[in-house]
Structure 1
Amino acid sequence: MIHRRFRRIVALTSGLLLTAGLSLVAPPSASTAVATRAPAQTGTLVVNARWGGHSTYDRLVIDLQGGVPSVTVTPVTHLVYDGSGKPVPLAGKSFLQIRLHPAAAHDDAGHSVYEGPKLQKIYLPQLKGIALTGDFEGYVTFGAAFATNPYYRTFTLHSPDRFVVDFAHGNRC
């Protein structure tokens, strides 16, 4: 039993010393390359969210860098912040959760790259508010609030990359 533990300790110590030795020999440029690259686990950065009103629809645009990830838009009964489960303080009778994966709203150092609103009340015919509700483990989540159940369509645009959601409403011209 003691002999097995000793071999395990020797193997772990050898591995640690080998790893430490390799990192000491690595060229200086290797460590700086990691700091400037996009998040290692995600290639897509979520950098902004914006909206606009049109005569027959409201539009929500999520600006991206590094491509468009998989996106799911799900009707939910209420909005909560990811992780804490605390309710999002947006008034509405209907809500959508917009989840992007793999994506991040922060860089490798943990600094936010997202420049849009975290919580915003909006006064459009259909869209009444948005919130950034999560940025954790490769998922970025937004919540959107509405006075009524929205009819919506989604699509992507490129150069620059964007995810778009249009919410239909009656003509307001």
Structure 2
Amino acid sequence: MYHHPSRAAVAAGVLLTAVGATVPASAATLPQTAAKSSPPARVVNARWAGHCTFDRLVIDLGGATTTVGVKAVKELRYDPSGKKVPLPGKYFLEIRLSPAVAHDSAGKSVYRGPRLAKIPLSKLKGLALTGDFEGVVTFGTAFQTKPAYKAFKLHSPERVVVDFNHANRCG
């Protein structure tokens, strides 16, 4: 005879309750699925500087480190609205940090850097905080000429660095 599993479970529960049986806590506990993940990195600032052969963008993090992705895009858009970012340029890069947030658990911004800035460096011409949505923080960068770049992380304190190469300006 076929027994429906959910009916059998209900019947067993009723039977145990009726006879006053107790189930040990270990037997009633569901198996652990995954350990709690660490909190995402908090993006707290962005700053830049020009050097002889490169311009540098530094994104300061509070707490944990994060993964970083940099890719060329045709234009910059705010996430999640999709509105165009008003930075002039011919070339754009999107910098994506995940998992990361630029706000606290109450939704208040912890990011103290610029949200939209024109930058007068040799290569880097603009920066925008384009997103802080669903555990992903994105920045957009603007250039007049195609950028060559290198992204890496530094520690103590945690930060993401993106260098944009250009011709030697120091002679």
SS in 1 for 2:113: coil
Percent identical residues? 64
Matches within 5 A, 1:127-138: 127-138=124-135
Residue type at the aligned position of 2:93: L
CA distance, structure 2, for counterparts of residue 139 and residue 102 of structure 1: 6
Q: What's the TM-score, normalizing by structure 1?
A: 0.75
**Which has more helix, going by share of residues?**
1
Find the counterpart in structure 1 of residue 70 from structure 2: 73
Residue type at the aligned position of 1:147: Q
User: Residue 65 of structure 1: CA displacement?
Assistant: 1.1
Find the counterpart in structure 2 of residue 57 from structure 1: 54
CA distance, structure 2, for counterparts of residue 149 and residue 68 of structure 1: 29
- Does residue 110 (structure 1) correspond to residue 107 (structure 2)? The answer is yes
CA distance, structure 2, for counterparts of residue 85 and residue 115 of structure 1: 23
- Does residue 149 (structure 1) correspond to residue 146 (structure 2)? The answer is yes
Find the counterpart in structure 1 of residue 4 from structure 2: none
CA distance, structure 2, for counterparts of residue 75 and residue 43 of structure 1: 25
CA distance, structure 1, for counterparts of residue 38 and residue 157 of structure 2: 21
Residue type at the aligned position of 1:117: P
Residue type at the aligned position of 1:142: F
1:92, 1:128 within 8 Å by CA — same for their partners in 2? yes
Q: What's the TM-score, normalizing by structure 2?
A: 0.76
Per-residue CA deviation, residues 62-118 of structure 1 (Å, 9 max, x unaligned), is 000112211110100000000111100000000000010100000000000000000
SS in 2 for 1:51: strand
CA RMSD of aligned residues (A): 1.2
Residue type at the aligned position of 1:119: L
Which of 70, 92, 96 is the matching residue for 1:95? 92
User: Residue 41 of structure 1: CA displacement?
Assistant: 7.7
Mean Cα displacement is larger for which, 62-71 or 111-120? 62-71
Q: Which runs of 4+ in 1 moved over 4 A?
A: none
SS in 1 for 2:101: coil
Per-residue CA deviation, residues 16-43 of structure 1 (Å, 9 max, x unaligned), is xxxxxxxxxxxxxxxxxxxxxxxx9843
2:39, 2:64 within 8 Å by CA — same for their partners in 1? no
Find the counterpart in structure 2 of residue 18 from structure 1: none
- Does residue 86 (structure 1) correspond to residue 83 (structure 2)? The answer is yes
CA distance, structure 2, for counterparts of residue 86 and residue 103 of structure 1: 22
